[in-house]
Amino acid sequence: MDARTYLRSLLEYNTWANAELYAKVRELPLEEVTKERKTLLHSIHVSMNHLLSVDMMWHAHMEKRAHGIGELRAVQHESLDDLWQARRAMDKTLIDYLDGLSDADLEEVVDYELIGGNSGSLSRAMCLGHLVTHGSYHRGWIADMFGQAGSPPPIIDIPVYERALRENNLPAMP
């Protein structure tokens, strides 16, 4: 399997996992979504905003432009509906971005500077891979907050996604 096919399947999985997460969050009372918890990102709502912010930042890094986000806990959208619309748009943007890259673009190394000042360089392919693993990492944090809210979290790992594809007669993962 080539890198493009692999990355696209991961981004499609990420899109599905985000949709499953948002559907499950909508089942919670709003006060549980916004409740301050003992976690670095404060709440489910802030954590979901963080996932969007980080995707926006890395997309900007890959396009070699400024992102304008200065805080890891930045709340891009107060409304869960607005946040969901922005999340859906960002997931589509990332897949479209990948689809528009040449093989050379995927391999090109881009420089980045994180909010805390740390800097480095990664290929665009690794940047996109990072976004998927970062999303999984923080969806795990959110799953913990579901437990604190007394509610089961969404089950959104790759084998569950693969089963959902089969059950909906969609093309299998590569």
Task: Tell whether 172 is covered by a domain.
Answer: no
Average pLDDT, the chain: 94
Question: In this structure, what CATH number is given to the domain that contains residue 132?
Answer: 1.20.120.450
Asked whether residue 28 is assigned to any structural domain, the reply reads yes
Look at the chain and report how many structural domains it folds into.
1
Indicate if the pLDDT at residue 55 is higher than 90: yes
| Confidence at residue 70, expressed as pLDDT on a 0 to 100 scale | 87
60-100: pLDDT as tens digits: 999 999 898 888 888 989 999 999 999 999 999 999 999 99
pLDDT in tens, 126-152: 999 999 999 999 999 999 999 999 999
Residue corresponding to tokens 């089942």: 27
- In this predicted structure, which of 10-14, 45-49, 70-74, 120-124 has the lowest mean pLDDT? 70-74
Establish if 173 belongs to a structural domain: no
Instruction: Answer yes or no: is 8 within a domain.
Output: yes
SS (H, E, C) 36-68: CCCCCCCCHHHHHHHHHHHHHHHHHHHCCCCCC
pTM score, whole prediction: 0.93
Is 174 among the domain residues? Answer: no
pLDDT single digits (tens) 153-165: 999 999 999 999 9
Domain that holds residue 60: 3-167
pLDDT at 174 over 90: no
